[in-house]
Structure 1
Amino acid sequence: MIKYIAAVLGWYVSRHFIGAVVGYFIGSAIDSLMQKDKPKGQQRRSFKDVFENATRENVSPGDFELNLLSLASIVIKADGKVSQTELDYARQYFVRAYGKDRANATFKTFNEVIKNREVSASRICTYLNARTRYEIRLQILHFLFGIAQADGQVSQPEVNVLGTIAGYFRINHQDFESIKNMFVKKADSAYKILEIDKTASDDEVKKAFRTMAKKYHPDKLMDMDEAYRKGAEEKFQNVQEAYETIQKERGL
C-alpha cells in the first residue's frame, strides 16, 4: 500500500512520470522493510497467494508442502476413488519429512482451504519448476508413484495422471519410464530402469549402470529433508537391483 501512496506523492511533487516511478520504488523498499519486521506467522502467504502470484522469487516451506500435497491429492483421486492406504502413505511421508506437528498443520490447511477446490497440476508444476532442481522433481515423481502403489498396484489412470505431471515437470520420457518401472514391473523393467534397450551390449549395460547410479545417487539430495533422501536411496537401490538382475540374466 505504501508504494502506491509514495507513487502518487512523487507525481504530485514533481508533476512528472519519473517522480511517480521514484516514489513507487521508495515505497516498495519501505514495504519490504516493514514486511521483514513482521512475525513469521504474519509473513506466510495464503494458498491463494501461492497459486495466483507464481512469479514471486522465493518460496517458503509452507508453500512447497501445500503444493506437494495438492499434487498428491490429484494422484490419490486419479482412479476415481480415495484409498485410505494412499492417504496414510502421504501422511507418513510428510511426517518423516517435516515432523508430526507441521505435517498435521499442512493437512489441516489443505482440508480447510484446498480439498474442495479444483487443483491445477499445470499451475502447480509451473510454480515448482522455477523453484526446484531437476533432481528434486524426479524425487517428487518418485513420491507420487509411491502413493499410487500404496494400495497394492498402480492403475492405468494413475499412470496417465503421473505421465501428465511428469510432462508439466519437464521430465524427459526416459526418466519417467525409469521411475515408472521401479513401481510397475514388467519383463524388461530392469532395462527400462537403466534407460537402455534389451538389445544393449554388455558394455552398454555397464555404462548405463554407472550413469544411472550417478544420476540417482543420494548425495544429490543431501540438502533435502530425510524423506527425500530416503526416496533417493530407494531409487539408487532400484538401479542396483536392476543391474544385478541383468547380470544374472546374462551371466556377467
Structure 2
Amino acid sequence: MIKWAAAFIGFIIRGLAGAIVGFVLGSFLDSLGGSGSKGGGGSVFSDFTRQSVSPADFELNLLSLCSIVIKADGQVSQRELDYVRQYFLSTYGKEKANTIFKTFNDVIKKREISTERICTYLAQRTRYEVRLQLLHFLFGIAQADGQVSKAEVSKLREIAQYLRVGPYDFESIMAMFIKSADNAYKILEIEKSATDDEVKKAYRKMAKKYHPDRVVMENEAIKKGAEEKFKEVQKAYETIQKERGMS
C-alpha cells in the first residue's frame, strides 16, 4: 500500500515527522485509488482519539511506542513481536497486517525514536482514557515473553510520565502485570493500612473508572480491554475481602 511505503521513506529521510507526512500523503493517494476504504476496521484505539489527531497519525505513533518497549531491555523478543503481530492481525486482517508489520520491523531495526516527542504529541491530542488503555497495551507487550524486566518497567514509567498518566494509575496498571504481596491494594490505588470503608470506596471508584459500560463504542477489542481491567479490579477487591473477612 502506498501510504506505508511513503511512511517508511519519510521516516528514513526525516524521522518521525517525515513518516507522518509520508503516511498522510500516501493515505490520500490510496484513497484516490479506492484502496483506502477496504480492509480491516481500523485501530482499536481510533474511536477514543480527539479530532486533532488522525487515525493514521495515531497508528504510526503506536508503532513507534511498540518498538520502544520491545527494545527497552536491549533485545528483541520474538514473543513480543508476535504479540504486536497478533494485534495487527486482529485489527486489520492478514494482508494489511503483513504490510504494516514489515514497516514495523524496519522501524525496530533502523532508527532510534524519541519517546518524549511521541508521547508529548499523543498527550496533547488524546483523551486520558486512551492513554490508560495504551499503557495497558504496552505492558501487555512487555509481559509477552513471560516477565516484565526492570528496564521495561523503567521505560514504561517514562512513557507514562510523558503521556501524563498519574503515578497511582501507573502503579495500578503495573500491578495487573507484575505480582507482589500488596498487589490487590496497588490495583485499587490504596495503602494496605486503609480502613474497610476506604477499601470499599476505592473499589467503587476503580470499578466506575474501568467498567465496560463506560466504553460506549462498538469496537470489540477496546471492550475486551476494559473488561479485563474491570475483572482485575473485582479480583483485587475480592482478595482483600477474603483477607479481612469483610462482608
- TM-score normalised to structure 2 length: 0.77
Paired-residue identity, %: 66
Matches within 5 A, 1:99-248: 99-112=93-106, 115-223=109-217, 225-248=219-242
Q: Does structure 2 retain, via aligned residues, the 8 Å contact 1:51–1:123?
A: no
* Structure-1 residue corresponding to 2:17: 52
Matches within 5 A, 1:9-20: none
TM-superposed deviation, 1:45: 7.5
Unpaired segments of 5 or more residues in structure 1? 1-39
Which letter maps to 2:17?
E
Which letter maps to 2:140?
G
Taking the aligned partners of 1:237 and 1:124, their CA distance within structure 2 comes to: 30
Query: How many pairs does the alignment contain?
Result: 213
Change (3 A) 1:62 1:223: same
Taking the aligned partners of 2:149 and 2:2, their CA distance within structure 1 comes to: 40
Of residues 61-70 and 178-187 in structure 1, the stretch that sits farther from structure 2 once superposed is: 61-70
Q: Does structure 2 retain, via aligned residues, the 8 Å contact 1:188–1:198?
A: yes
Tell me the secondary structure at the aligned position of residue 106 of structure 1: helix
* Structure-1 residue corresponding to 2:59: 65
Change (3 A) 1:203 1:113: closer
Deviations 1:160-205 (A, max 9, x none): 0000000000001000000000111100010000000001111111
Taking the aligned partners of 2:150 and 2:159, their CA distance within structure 1 comes to: 14
- Which has the greater radius of gyration? 1
Change (3 A) 1:83 1:111: closer
TM-superposed deviation, 1:65: 1.7
Tell me the secondary structure at the aligned position of residue 125 of structure 1: helix
Q: Does structure 1 retain, via aligned residues, the 8 Å contact 2:172–2:188?
A: yes
* Structure-1 residue corresponding to 2:86: 92
Deviations 1:7-44 (A, max 9, x none): xxxxxxxxxxxxxxxxxxxxxxxxxxxxxxxxx967x9
Unpaired segments of 5 or more residues in structure 2? 25-50
Change (3 A) 1:224 1:81: farther
Of residues 108-117 and 127-136 in structure 1, the stretch that sits farther from structure 2 once superposed is: 108-117
Taking the aligned partners of 2:80 and 2:105, their CA distance within structure 1 comes to: 16
Of residues 226-235 and 75-84 in structure 1, the stretch that sits farther from structure 2 once superposed is: 226-235
Which letter maps to 1:87?
L
- TM-score normalised to structure 1 length: 0.76
Change (3 A) 1:111 1:244: same
Tell me the secondary structure at the aligned position of residue 183 of structure 1: coil
